Structure 1
Amino acid sequence: MVPRANPAMERLASECIESIYDLIARKESEKPMEQGFLRVPDLSTAEPWRSLLRANTPGTLRPGMPLLLAQGQADTIVRPEVTRAYMAQSCAAGVPVQMLSLPGVGHGFAAYTIAGTAVAWMADRFAGLPAPNDCTSPH
């Protein structure tokens, strides 16, 4: 880590995204990182980013443990094909997956858009209702 990047990193780490205004403010906070420190064309091929990205990748759940995935189709941070690949991996492991596609929704608003649905999905699991399963392959 470049020591002069620390103030920008600390500022980014302390910011929350709760509204459109927070997204705009975050863009301003990201500029110093983009312009001065993140000049690698593909972070997935350069260390330490490659290792950090790998460490931040979720593993597969135990078979039978239900999973709700929601993917904003306009997301440029977590690309839809990455989530589809994780769904396929989870389905192959015997995890019942419900996949919700959010047309026109980007990364910053996916959680906001799906919050009510996610709470209802969890309440149904606690109530003992079977998890919806969008997996097409037999387990």
Structure 2
Amino acid sequence: MTPIRLKVAPPTDLIENLTGGTDPSIRAFLTAFTAHSWSQHYGISLRTLGTRSTGDLINRLGRNNCVTLGTKPRIGTIVGIAILRARLKNVDLGRITPWKNIARDNSPSARDYGVPFLIAQNDGDTIVAPATTKEFVRKLCRDGARLKSVSIQSAGGHPTSAADSAAETLEWIEARFQG
């Protein structure tokens, strides 16, 4: 059986997704999660992103808060995100070493992997930037990848992307089994 790649709203270019999302609160929260995890994994000081208190806030948000999409976050999370939005307003991880190198190394290459791709993206997604995913799809196509791209048109945004593309996904998988 041929391996396949199935991606629903994939975060392709990580820097573009952290800076290109339409919701500044979500961008701040994702930046906190990303910076926290990368600082832990790669041993990077969060001081490269601001003051010690900014680093402490990033760590608190990254460690102690889990947001379920479609539900109200805790008040501490809301306040933390608001503060972080202000503090990271002019911070671009794509311009700061070593963050830009780590983001590049952790972003998938837009190349033909030799297996078929299905990429589904909701045009109203505020978490994974639709324009970034579309550019990734264009690059895959230019490289000759076997690809089906599904544009999801629903009000659900990112949280419902998998469910909204389920019928097309199942048809695509069945077609893989059929050869």
Identify if the C-alpha distance between structure 1 residues 31 and 46 changes in structure 2 by more than 3 Å, giving closer, same or farther: farther
Identify if the C-alpha distance between structure 1 residues 42 and 98 changes in structure 2 by more than 3 Å, giving closer, same or farther: same
CA distance in 1, matches of 2:165, 2:74: 21
Higher helix residue share: 2
> SS of 2:150's equivalent?
strand
Count residues with an aligned counterpart.
Answer: 122
Q: Structure 1 residue 32 and structure 2 residue 83: aligned?
A: no
CA distance in 2, matches of 1:49, 1:55: 10
Identify if the C-alpha distance between structure 1 residues 111 and 5 changes in structure 2 by more than 3 Å, giving closer, same or farther: same
Equivalent of 2:143, from 93, 115, 130? 93
Identify if the C-alpha distance between structure 1 residues 30 and 101 changes in structure 2 by more than 3 Å, giving closer, same or farther: farther
CA distance in 1, matches of 2:143, 2:99: 28
CA distance in 2, matches of 1:105, 1:20: 9
The residue type equivalent to 2:149 in the other structure is M
**RCO higher in 1 or 2 (8 Å CA, sep ≥ 6)?**
2
Aligned-pair distance for 1:10? 1.0
Equivalent of 2:129, from 64, 68, 79? 79
- Kept in 2, the 8 Å contact 1:8–1:30? The answer is no
The residue type equivalent to 1:124 in the other structure is A
Q: Which runs of 4+ in 1 moved over 4 A?
A: none
Equivalent of 1:117, from 168, 171, 174? 168
> SS of 2:125's equivalent?
coil
With structure 2 as the length reference, what TM-score do the two structures score? 0.53
With structure 1 as the length reference, what TM-score do the two structures score? 0.65
2:113 alignment counterpart: 62
Q: After superposition, what is the alpha-carbon deviation per residue over 1:5-30, rounded to whole angstroms, capped at 9, x for unaligned? A: 32211124xx374x622xx3289736
